[in-house]
Amino acid sequence: MPIAGDIVNVIEGLSRLVERKILIIIDEFQFIAESDPSFVSRLQRLIDQKLVSRNIMLVLCGSAVSFFEKNL
């Protein structure tokens, strides 16, 4: 079953479809967050409301350390 949409929708869809532990890695996270100002808050809402009870490890990576220090 294909999953489409933005990254938040894809992560939510994967979390519903996969019953085993899943690892999701997002590299260059800062570029996604800068291109969509609502992304970080939507991702946080998804984590708080739905992913907290699921067996998911979400890894956010990026080369702009200052972005992570200021925004996350």
Tokens 């260059």 correspond to what residue? Answer: 28
Q: Which two tokens stand for residue 4?
A: 């489409």
- Global pTM? 0.82
Which pLDDT score is estimated for 17? Answer: 87
Please write down the HEC assignment for all residues of 3-46.
CCCCHHHHHHHHHHHCCCCEEEEECCHHHHHHHCCCHHHHHHHH
Q: In 10 A of CB 18, how many CB atoms?
A: 13
Which pLDDT tens digit goes with each residue over 48-64?
999 988 989 999 999 98
